[in-house]
Structure 1
Amino acid sequence: MSMRVTLAVATLRRNPARTLLAILGIAVAAALLLDMVMLATGMRESFRTLLLTRGYQLRVAPKGTLPFDSEATIDGATGIVAALRANPDIKAVSPALGATLSLPGNRFPSVFTLGLEQDVQGDYVLDAGRDLPAPRDSVAAATPLPAVVNRAFLLRSGKQLGDTLTVASGLNAQLRTASRSRVVVLVGDARFFYVPAETPVMALPLQNVRALLGPEFRDRMSVAMAESRRGDSASVEAVRTWIATTQPRVTAISTETAIRQVEERLSYFRQLAFVLGAISLGIGFLLVATLVTLSVNERRGEIAVLRAIGTQKGGVLRQVFLEGFFMSSAGIAGGLVLGLITAKWLNGILRDFPGLPAAFDFFLWSPEAAWKSLALLLVSGTLAGLVPAWRAASIPIVRSLREDAVG
């Protein structure tokens, strides 16, 4: 066997430029295949990870809508949240109210604002400063409201933690007056999971956002996230069914349902990944088949001599197969590195698309899927030498020796 390996390596080294170009071609095909597999699996897993960042498996939205898919809100929020929290199968409930508040005198006119309860919120993680007060800690009317903002808000507003500004609702553009306003102090810098990184966002205590929006919002919320106590799929589905039965004014959406809905919207990317992945497999197969065929045709006389001195057909087959295996292995090793580099680069480009959550990734490394796809390419490249290997093993010995001598 060691002699077969030596002969296969020597054959590949006989034409180094051609072998190198073939390996580079296989590396490009392997990188493309790896990137497409990462794209096909990455969006689903990244979205799942995003939804489960803080453990909430259920989203409760206004009837017939997706969370924040419209400006619709849920009335009677206090009673709904209380009913959910009373269910022993529900571990935690996080209500939220989203609204756009005006920023009089600021560099930009308005900011998307989330009203949250600090002790159960699942929308951000604090990077610097301090958090919002707990719901039981009231803030005096004369005291600035604590606000948590993201990095985009600080950059666009030119503010720093500790600075104050005014937020308002019901702004009259002609009279330049607001129905309600409040001074806020920026106490924390946070990363918001579900908001695009380039979008300025502010979080305030839920009860204060309701007060700013007016009496019609005193018992409203945009969405509530719920966490099943046991966490398995059956338990989550049982809780979802219970919510749908007992709370007819809302729609409960599980993580699995949300993933399916997003996949329908992003199905183009999966189809593209499948097509380009199939093309990369075909490219790898054709490259190896072409090079091995050329090599066999150039060595007909040499192979005939080996057969004449007693080498069996199986020996010739194994040697030619080894050539395809070595080329495929070298190309796939290079393609693994190239694929990871290009995936990181492409992910950075796609993540800049407007409207995407800051924590969303298009390309995500999945060891099982990646190794299976690269193994498939290795098998494909190795089997590409089947026809030329069989032809090499079946070369007529006498005629080939005569042709080689005449040539």
Structure 2
Amino acid sequence: MSMRTTLALATLRRHPARTMLAVLGIAVAAALLLDMVMLATGMSESFRSLLLTRGYQLRVSPKGTLPFDSEATIDGATAIVQALRANPDIKAVSPSLGTTFALPGQTFPSVFTLGLESDVQGDYVLEAGRDMPVTGDGLSPAAPLPAVVSKSFLVRSGHQLGDTLTVAAGIDAQLRTTARSRLVVLSGEGRFFYVPAETPVMALPLRDVRTLLGAAYRDRMSLAMAESRRGDSVSVEAVRAWIAASQPRVTAISTETAIRQVEERLSYFRQLAFVLGAISLGIGFLLVATLVTLSVNERRGEIAVLRAIGTQKGGVLRQVFLEGLLLSSAGIAGGLLLGIVTARWLNGILRDFPGLPAAFDFFLWSPEAAWKSLALLLISGTLAGLLPAWRAASIPIVRSLREDAVG
């Protein structure tokens, strides 16, 4: 076997420029295939990871809507949250209320604001400063409200942690007045999972957001996230069915359902990935088949001599077949590195699209899917040498020796 490998390498080194171009072409095909597999599997896995960042497998939204798909809110939120928390199969419930508050005197007029309960919130992770107080901790009505803000808020506003500013609600556009306002202190910086990175966002205690919005919002929420005590899909679906039966005014969506809905909306990317992946397999096959065929045609005389001195057809077949295997292996090794580099570059570009959550990735490394796709390309490239190998093993010995002598 070592002798055959040496001969195969010597054959490939005979035309170094041609071999290098073929290896480069296979590497590009392998990188394309790897990137398409990462794109096809990465979006759904990234979205799943995003939804389960804090362990909440269920989203409870206004009847007939997706979470934050509209400005609709849920009335009677306190009773609904209490009913959910009373269920022994539910571990935690996180209500939230989304709105927009004005920022009088600031560099931008308003900020998207989330009203949350800090002890159960699943919308951000604190990266600097202090968090909001735990629900139930009292604050003086005159004291500034502690707020957790995103990095983009600090950058665009020019503020730092510890600064104090005013937020206002109940805006009258004609009179340019606000019905209610409150001082807030920027106590912490958070990384918000479900809000686009470029969007300034502020988190305040839920009860204070309701107070600022007025009596109409005193018992409303935009969304509630629930965590099943047992995380398996059967238990989650049982909890979802119980919510749907016991709370007719809301829609409960599980992580699996949300992923299916997102995949339907992003089906174009999956179709594109499938088409380009199939093209990359075809390119790899044709490159190997072309190069091995050229090599066999150039060495007809050599192969005839080997047959004449006693080399069996199987030996010639394995020798030529090994050339395709080595060529494919070298290209795939380079394609693995090239694919990872280009995937990171493309992911950085796509993540900058407006409106995408900051934690969403288009390309996600999946070892199992990646190795399977590269193994498929290796098999395809190796099989591409089958026809020229069979032709080489079937060369007429006498005629080929005569032609080689005359030539």
* TM-score, normalized by the shorter chain, greater than 0.5: yes
- Confirm whether residue 217 of structure 1 aligns to residue 217 of structure 2: yes
Amino acid at match of 2:166: T
What's the counterpart of residue 189 of structure 2?
189
Query: CA offsets, 1:71-102, max 9 Å, x none?
Result: 00000000000000000000000000000111
1:113 is aligned to 2:113: yes
Residue equivalent to 2:47: 47
* Partner Cα separation in structure 2 for residue 15 and residue 331 of structure 1: 16
Q: Which amino acid aligns with 1:377?
A: L
**2:56 corresponding residue in structure 1:** 56
What is the CA-CA distance between 1:369 and the residue it aligns to?
A: 0.2
Counterpart CA distance in 1 for 2:280 and 2:18 is: 20
Where 1:101 maps in the other structure, the secondary structure is: strand
What's the counterpart of residue 395 of structure 1? 395
Find the counterpart in structure 1 of residue 103 from structure 2.
Answer: 103
User: Do residues 201 (structure 1) and 180 (structure 2) align?
Assistant: no
- CA distance in structure 1 between the aligned counterparts of 2:281 and 2:90, rounded to whole angstroms: 47
Residue of structure 1 in register with 2:243 after alignment: 243
In the alignment, which residue of structure 1 is the partner of 2:14? 14
Q: Name 1:134's counterpart in structure 2.
A: 134
Deviation for aligned residue 1:175 = 2.1
Aligned to 1:78: 78
Q: Secondary structure at the match of 1:178?
A: strand
Residue of structure 1 equivalent to 2:94:
94
**Pairing 1:366-377 to 2, within 5 Å after superposition:** 366-377=366-377
The alpha-carbon deviation at position 174 of structure 1 amounts to: 3.0
1:138 Cα deviation (Å)?
2.1
Question: Which SS does the other structure have where 2:126 is aligned?
Answer: strand
SS of the aligned residue for 1:225 comes to: strand
Distance in 2 (CA, whole Å) between partners of 1:281 and 1:370 is 14
Following the alignment from structure 2 to structure 1, what is the Cα–Cα distance between the partners of residues 214 and 246? 29
- Report the residue type matching 2:199 in the other structure: T
Structure 2 match to 1:3 = 3
What is the TM-score normalised by the length of structure 2? 1.00
Q: CA deviation at 1:170?
A: 1.4
- SS state at 2:59 partner: strand
| TM value normalised by structure 1 | 1.00
Which deviations, in whole Å up to 9, do the C-alpha atoms of 1:27-60 show, x marking residues without a partner? Answer: 0000000000000000010000000000000000
The one-letter amino acid paired with 1:142 is A
Mapped partners of 1:330, 1:82: distance in 2? 62
Q: Secondary structure in 2 aligned to 1:81?
A: helix
Matches within 5 A, 1:228-377: 228-377=228-377
Query: Which amino acid in the other structure matches residue 187 of structure 1?
Result: S
Q: Secondary structure of 1:113's partner?
A: strand
Quote the Cα distance in structure 2 between the aligned partners of 1:177 and 1:166.
13
What's the offset of the Cα at 1:173? 2.7
One-letter amino acid of the structure 1 residue matched with residue 377 of structure 2? L
Aligned pairs, number: 407
- Cα distance between partner residues in 2 of 1:200 and 1:3: 66
Q: Distance in 1 between matches of 2:103 and 2:139?
A: 21
* Helix, strand or coil at the partner of 2:238: helix
Q: Taking every aligned residue pair, what percent have the same amino acid on both sides?
A: 85
The separation in 2 between residues aligned to 1:18 and 1:210, in whole angstroms, is 71
| Equivalent position SS for 1:329 | helix
Deviation (angstroms), 1:171: 1.4
1:382 is matched with 382
Q: Deviations over 1:357-406 (max 9, x none)?
A: 00000000000000000000000000000110000000000000000111
